[in-house]
Structures are given as structure tokens and as C-alpha cells.
């Protein structure tokens, strides 16, 4: 499916969809995060084909993208991959729902590197999952988040970004310094406007979109019609021309 066949949303529209999902429909942030992480894990499994023994580094921020990446880390570990989680922030600074996902991963015995540690050596990984920053990005990444992004890019390992490559404006497509250069990006619900900007392509890579269970009525409220986008699969490839 081509990107121009699927409606795109602004950051403001996506934020309102998220709000209505929780407050009006009753689909919780935990449920959305589980859906996002499951889809991310599935796309990672497709990319690697064989998981047992494969090393995957998971980069985790304090917000929803970090939580989704932690869900993926849990599932990929269960499926046989060797997971290493690197936090962009201290556990005390994580939002409550991602913090709960971190507690689960920690209880499972998965390796977690605190933000006080140097960025991990990623060159021996088969894949890197980017869950550092999301669509609420305001300005260039800083501190340990910036260090993780730079180290991931320098590793030359394929990167799979969740929702939007960390450091890229989901609204305008502007890449800040540094920005993840993803081989694949799995965006959630609908593509964000910035992902479709031509100058963003070197950072987005191959674009996919995943269903996180948004009712069609919420899209219709924005005047958007997605039709049968997810009728055959809940992960759809949006191939560029």
C-alpha cells in the first residue's frame, strides 16, 4: 500500500485520539502500549526470521514509546532472543505505565543498563529497537538520550524505530541532531505527517503502520476514513514510490 492511500495525522490529532481512546472509549494506556509492543516484537521477528540466540538491544525512554519498547523486549525474550535494555533516563523519572513495564522486564531477569552507564556496545547486536523519544519531541535530544541515539547510529546495526525515529519531528519531518537513522519505522494507528516528508526518508527507512485498536468512530470524528486498512493484517507496509 502506498503512503498516499492512507490518511496521515498531525501530532495534535494523534494526541486527541489518544485522549479520547482513554477518556471516552475506555481503552487504557496499558492496552495501547501492549498492542504497540506486540506489533513491534512481531515486526522484529519478521526482520530477523530466527530469534533464538539473536542479540537485540532495546533503547528505552521515559514515555509511551519506551513502554512499548519494553513490551517488545519482554515478548522477544520469551521468544528466545537475548535482550539488553538501555535506559535513556533513570527509572525514577519514567512515567507510571512504562515504569510498570520496566518492573516486569526486571523481574524476568532481562539485562537493564541504567542511564548512569555508558551507552552499550551495540555492534554485535542483530537488531536495535528505538523507543527513546516519541511524537511529543520538543527540540533536539539531550543528555543520555542523545548519547544512545548517536551510539546506535554509529553501530551500523539495523534499527527498528517505534512510531517515529527518535530525534525526528513527527509534525514537520525535521531531523534534529542527533536523529535515529532507522532501517524500518513502525508507526502506530496512522502515519504522522512528518514521516511522509521526503527529507525524512533517510531517517524513517521502510515505513509500516500498526493497528493499536483505535475505533473507526474516532477517525471519523477527524473526518478520516481508513476503510479496510487492517482487514487482512494489523501491520501494514507503506511502500514509497
Residue-wise pLDDT tens digits, 170-187: 999 999 999 999 999 999
- Specify the pLDDT at position 228: 87
**9 vs 180: CA distance, rounded Å:** 21
Name the DSSP letter for residue 175.
B
CATH number at residue 135: 3.40.50.10260
Question: How many domains does the chain contain in total?
Answer: 1
Provide the CA 154 distance to its chain's centre, in angstroms: 20
pLDDT of residue 138: 83
Give the residue-averaged pLDDT of 102-116: 97
* Per-residue pLDDT at 5: 87
No. of helices (H) and no. of strands (E), the chain: 7, 8
Kindly tell me if the per-residue pLDDT of 33 is higher than 60: yes
Given a cut of 90, whether residue 41 has pLDDT beyond it is: yes
Instruction: For 126-144, write each residue's pLDDT tens digit.
Output: 999 999 999 988 899 999 9
Domain coverage including residue 61:
3-225+233-238
Percent pLDDT > 70 in the chain is 99
Residue ranges of E strands in the chain: 55-60, 82-87, 111-113, 127-131, 159-162, 184-188, 206-210, 235-238
In sequence order, the β-bridge partners of residue 86 are 59, 113
Q: Are 163 and 186 in contact (CB under 8 A)?
A: yes
Residues 38-61, mean pLDDT to the nearest whole number:
97
pTM of the model: 0.97
Q: Are 117 and 84 in contact (CB under 8 A)?
A: no
In DSSP terms, 210 is beta-bridged to: 188, 235
CB atoms within 10 A of CB 48: 16
Helix (H) or strand (E) holding 66: helix 64-78
Rounded to an integer, what distance in angstroms lies between the CA atom of residue 63 and that of residue 100? 12
User: CA-to-CA distance for 226 and 192, rounded, in angstroms?
Assistant: 14
Give pLDDT, residue 241.
56
Per-residue pLDDT reduced to its tens digit, 82-98? 999 999 999 999 999 99
Amino acid at each position: 500500500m502506498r503512503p498516499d492511500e492512507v490518511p496521515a495525522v498531525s501530532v495534535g490529532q494523534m494526541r486527541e485520539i489518544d485522549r479520547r481512546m482513554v477518556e471516552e472509549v475506555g481503552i487504557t494506556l496499558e492496552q495501547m502500549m501492549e498492542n504497540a509492543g506486540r506489533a513491534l516484537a512481531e515486526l522484529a521477528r519478521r526482520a530477523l526470521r530466527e530469534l533464538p540466540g539473536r542479540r537485540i538491544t532495546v533503547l528505552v525512554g521515559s514515555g509511551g514509546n519506551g513502554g512499548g519498547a519494553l513490551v517488545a523486549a519482554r515478548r522477544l525474550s520469551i521468544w528466545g532472543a537475548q535482550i539488553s535494555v538501555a535506559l535513556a533516563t533513570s527509572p525514577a523519572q519514567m512515567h507510571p505505565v512504562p515504569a510498570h513495564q520496566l518492573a516486569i522486564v526486571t523481574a524476568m531477569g532481562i539485562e537493564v543498563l541504567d542511564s548512569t552507564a555508558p551507552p552499550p556496545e551495540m555492534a554485535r547486536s542483530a537488531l536495535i529497537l528505538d523507543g527513546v523519544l516519541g511524537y511529543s519531541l520538543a527540540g533536539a535530544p539531550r543528555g543520555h538520550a542523545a548519547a544512545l541515539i548517536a551510539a546506535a547510529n554509529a553501530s551500523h546495526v539495523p534499527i527498528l524505530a517505534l512510531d517515529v525515529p527518535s530525534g525526528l519531528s513527527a509534525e514537520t519531518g525535521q531531523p534534529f541532531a542527533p536523529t535515529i537513522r532507522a532501517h524500518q519505522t513502525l508507526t502506530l494507528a496512522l502515519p504522522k505527517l512528518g514521516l511522509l516528508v521526503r527529507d525524512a526518508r533517510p531517517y524513517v527507512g521502510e515505513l509500516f503502520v500498526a493497528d493499536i485498536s483505535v475505533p473507526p468512530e474516532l477517525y471519523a470524528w477527524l473526518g478520516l476514513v481508513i476503510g479496510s486498512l487492517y482487514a487482512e493484517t494489523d501491520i501494514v507496509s507503506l511502500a514509497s514510490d
